[in-house]
Structure 1
Amino acid sequence: MDRIKAIEVFVAVVDNGSLTRAAERLDVTPAMVGKVLAQLETHLGVQLIRRTTRQQSLTDAGRRFYEECRRVLEQLSWAEASVTDLQAQGQATLRISCATTLGQCLIAPALAGFQQEHPNVRLVLELSNSHVNPVEEGFDLLLRVGALDPDLDLVAIRLGDYRMALCASPEYLAVHGTPEHVEHLVSHRCLGNLVWNRRSTWNLLIGEAPQPWPDAIFLSNDGPALRQVALAGGGILLQPEMLVEEDIASGRLIPLLEDYLPASRPIHALYRRDRFPLAKVSSLVDYLRRTLRSTLQD
């Protein structure tokens, strides 16, 4: 039995929903598809697909085998593409889940650069600060900020550090004055992020002692929206440095209390602990490490 061919047949049956449609796609007879599928199940010693006269469904073993087979075929496609200049090469899809602000400010433009080197790779970027299971949700790569769960069964590659900035507009400071110490913030109009919770909040520091962010006069679940409020003179902002660094460089926002900023947090690229990591994932991680090194160094 040609195992690669058998895997291609099995994946085609699952993707197309029936033996008949898989046969049409592969340009073989339904009988041949059924024969190859039966040989594969005999070889593995498990049933992969439950079949009735009206429908088919994957068994638990079939569902897991399908996910691994899809990755094997994608890996094979990538390997073939890496040694050929044919226009049809490298039609792999790379699905990435990234923390929202990190993705908006840094990763999205970096991915554009990666795609210039790999123009036939299809990229899907989803931005979310929620917990994501890469296996269940089909992501090839996660990009996250903060300490890692010690029980996390993923490969973690540190890309750099995520730093915060405290700032306000010149107009705000002209009206309300410039705080000289963390304790002065309680008398100022502070902007707050609704996404922060007890586990993910950012505290200012006096020495090593954490100082909670004061009660906010304006709250939003979106960092760029808070940036706009700060630019309009609405208050003092604590947000990722990458979100406001151009505003600070141009003078639109003025940095404050730099000796009391929160400690930086690590940025990690996370992917499945496979025996043979997908080449497309390794290529992207290497690219991000190379191109973001100067931006994310502490």
Structure 2
Amino acid sequence: MDRIKAIEVFVAVVDNGSLTRAAERLDVTPAMVGKVLAQLETHLGVQLIRRTTRQQSLTDAGRRFYEEGRRVLEQLSWAEASVTDLQAQGQATLRISCATTLGQCLIAPALAGFQQEHPNVRLVLELSNSHVNPVEEGFDLLLRVGALDPDLDLVAIRLGDYRMALCASPEYLAVHGTPEHVEHLVSHRCLGNLVWNRRSTWNLLIGEAPQPWPDAIFLSNDGPALRQVSLAGGGILLQPEMLVEEDIASGRLIPLLEDYLPASRPIHALYRRDRFPLAKVSSLVDYLRRTLRSTLQD
């Protein structure tokens, strides 16, 4: 019995919740998964999983073996990476997951500059605001906005701050007037992002704490689309400063109510706490810290 393969199969069964789904992930038959699992339990002399026709659950031994088995697989992955990374720096592939607007506005252009310095590094950039597990999904680097999960076992390098801007086009303000106080927004056409929360309201600083205000009249799940609506005179926009800073600088959008803007949020580069950190990851993080310092300064 290949013990490493058996551990991989067992971990896949637990992670995926069934033999069938584990088989799909491993691209083998369910019968093969069941056979390997039975061999592993025979080898260990304990039952790892209680199985019925409807569900499965870990025994105490299974729970302990799962935790240790995952560590074994991670250590093996790190050991392999530490060797192959030294030999394949020139042909390395770096997979990056980044928050959508951050990636569109800053990270994608920065990666172009990084690739000029490292022309043989193949970059794969995926933009998403969803939760990502770098170990399970195979990412080398995560770039995220906001407070960190205290239980997240990742190295976190702060790159700077993510600031918001509230603005509208001169054409809109000429027709509807310029709000001088946050309470004036109730009579304005406000643009909301569906990604933020269910009501798609803005969290403006009213008093000592952020409060949802007001309800949006136009909704979209895409920040650049909302920017276009605002540029066309469709309403007042609350979006990341990096998305609209050129519009504000050119006068296409006018900043509003700056005393009520939400507090800035930190931007972090996150990567696995490997015993042997990959040189390609360290190189990219150092590059981002250096090149984005002026843009993301406090």
TM-score (ref. length: structure 1) = 0.72
The alpha-carbon deviation at position 209 of structure 1 amounts to 2.7
Deviation per CA, 1:152-176, whole angstroms, max 9, x where unpaired?
A: 1111111000000000000000000
For residues 149 and 24 of structure 1, the distance between their equivalents in structure 2, rounded to whole angstroms, comes to 31
Change (3 A) 1:224 1:276: same
- Counterpart contact for 1:23–1:33, Cα < 8 Å: yes
Matched position secondary structure for 1:57: strand
For residues 190 and 79 of structure 1, the distance between their equivalents in structure 2, rounded to whole angstroms, comes to 53
Matched position secondary structure for 2:143: strand
The alpha-carbon deviation at position 207 of structure 1 amounts to 3.9
- Counterpart contact for 1:80–1:89, Cα < 8 Å: no
Change (3 A) 1:10 1:197: closer
Q: How many residues align?
A: 298
Change (3 A) 1:183 1:35: closer
The alpha-carbon deviation at position 259 of structure 1 amounts to 1.0
Q: Which moved more, 1:88-97 or 1:267-276?
A: 88-97
Matched position secondary structure for 1:65: helix
For residues 45 and 122 of structure 1, the distance between their equivalents in structure 2, rounded to whole angstroms, comes to 46
1:233 maps to 233
Deviation per CA, 1:238-293, whole angstroms, max 9, x where unpaired?
A: 00000000000000000000111100000000000111111110110011011111
Change (3 A) 1:64 1:218: farther
Deviation per CA, 1:71-106, whole angstroms, max 9, x where unpaired?
A: 999999999999999998610100000000000000
The alpha-carbon deviation at position 206 of structure 1 amounts to 2.6
2:103 maps to 103
Deviation per CA, 1:179-204, whole angstroms, max 9, x where unpaired?
A: 00111101100000000027997511
Change (3 A) 1:70 1:58: same
Change (3 A) 1:222 1:206: same
Q: Which moved more, 1:49-58 or 1:82-91?
A: 49-58
For residues 224 and 288 of structure 2, the distance between their equivalents in structure 1, rounded to whole angstroms, comes to 23
The alpha-carbon deviation at position 135 of structure 1 amounts to 0.4
Change (3 A) 1:105 1:21: closer
Deviation per CA, 1:181-234, whole angstroms, max 9, x where unpaired?
A: 111101100000000027997511134232313111100000000000000000
- Counterpart contact for 1:79–1:279, Cα < 8 Å: no
The alpha-carbon deviation at position 138 of structure 1 amounts to 0.2
Q: Please report the RMSD computed on the Cα atoms of aligned residues, expressed in angstroms.
A: 6.6
- Counterpart contact for 1:190–1:218, Cα < 8 Å: yes
Change (3 A) 1:260 1:12: closer
Deviation per CA, 1:7-40, whole angstroms, max 9, x where unpaired?
A: 9999999999999999999999999999999999
Q: Which moved more, 1:223-232 or 1:193-202?
A: 193-202
- Counterpart contact for 2:95–2:124, Cα < 8 Å: yes
Deviation per CA, 1:112-163, whole angstroms, max 9, x where unpaired?
A: 0111110000000000000000000000000000001111111111100000
Change (3 A) 1:59 1:132: farther
- Counterpart contact for 2:82–2:277, Cα < 8 Å: no
For residues 260 and 74 of structure 1, the distance between their equivalents in structure 2, rounded to whole angstroms, comes to 46
The alpha-carbon deviation at position 295 of structure 1 amounts to 0.5
- Counterpart contact for 2:168–2:255, Cα < 8 Å: yes
Unaligned runs of 5+ in 1: none
Q: Which moved more, 1:275-284 or 1:60-69?
A: 60-69
For residues 185 and 21 of structure 2, the distance between their equivalents in structure 1, rounded to whole angstroms, comes to 66
The alpha-carbon deviation at position 3 of structure 1 amounts to 17
- Counterpart contact for 1:81–1:90, Cα < 8 Å: no
- Counterpart contact for 1:167–1:253, Cα < 8 Å: yes
Q: Which moved more, 1:61-70 or 1:26-35?
A: 26-35
